[in-house]
Structure 1
């Protein structure tokens, strides 16, 4: 049902999640280090550099709270890239499939036809747990056992539930990241306000002009750190949440389209025995 050239094209989309996640982590570490270095060298003493990296306020730079949030942000971007690549490949499986008859007249009436479809899927696809190959394989096995369309539909629904649950689990790290970044921002706000109040010397504040200037400078720097971490955290979180929404929608649409393809071109062509 699929040509040799189609088979070779399928093999270009081999998916190894562990290696891909490791690659995303390495790229995130390198990217965050590069961006932090750029800000430190060219904008460290500017308000923007202080806001993004804490270049002036950090006691042990580059180990600042802002840089920790930057690191988490790039790790989140890496995970979103992994999820986007997965959704893209699911759509490639769907668009390049050719696994099932798509004309209006074909009826799957013999076990040999069903078994040929299942063998074709297993031989061509390297990643059998992708949505479309897994749904076809699961429904084929069930029908070969029971020869009942209703049982096959029930198995299809169960497989869809499992895939939905698996999708939710794959976003668990991203959900932790979008929780952790605002938490770091809030911690920075609390620390900044606390430091500002602890450094406020009322005697000096009420004294000479130079003492007042020094007090105001220390106070504004700590307060700037306090609210700067919140700003960075909110911006990072807003970007990640928006991208997660887009990618998750794309993955869910790929799952729905795969289920519709199996329903229209496999289950609706089965004959009850």
Structure 2
């Protein structure tokens, strides 16, 4: 039906039976930006033109049949602040957005960090989370679920979650000052590289499980921003000069 669409985004499969939910993760394809931002750069860092980025956003959200005027995003700071969104727009300083409003499309920007989308079908609440290593270590997933509980009476056991495409375990090399923030089962020392490898997807999955989700309520993207950099932007792999992807979730009437 939509043969041209999969180039722009991938949908989590966990929500295929939820017609009211619009959830997707962009790829790097189908936009107008030139190298090194080719092509669907949806984020504002770097020297890509604002016109290109805006056109790319319109293309991405149009493909999802979402009006760009309904989107809520935040300028992220690798922190753990959670914002309860009641109207669309651009916010500052939050790495997680939650809402129970229909027709507000939450979006987080990514280029190696872990995106997590959460849906509470009982209360009709959603969350979009940007978890870099700092946010992951700061338990932003747990904090977001607690905010949803306090704001919408969400119970974690009712929720479903998608852990999106990010840097993979074997590519995320860190020093001891980062590794010390992660449990033993989420990191390995690689003597050949003189670095630790940290599993960001695994760390966020562990937080979801600890909060009360069951394993079958969590989908984890099989893709890596580094190993699949032909399809995704990777800040690390492209030495900081690269575009940005979006992970997005919203409820329609």
What's the TM-score once normalised by structure 2's chain length?
A: 0.25
What's the TM-score once normalised by structure 1's chain length?
A: 0.24
Larger radius of gyration: 1
Select the structure with the greater relative contact order (CA < 8 A; seq sep ≥ 6).
1
Higher normalized strand content (fraction of residues): 2
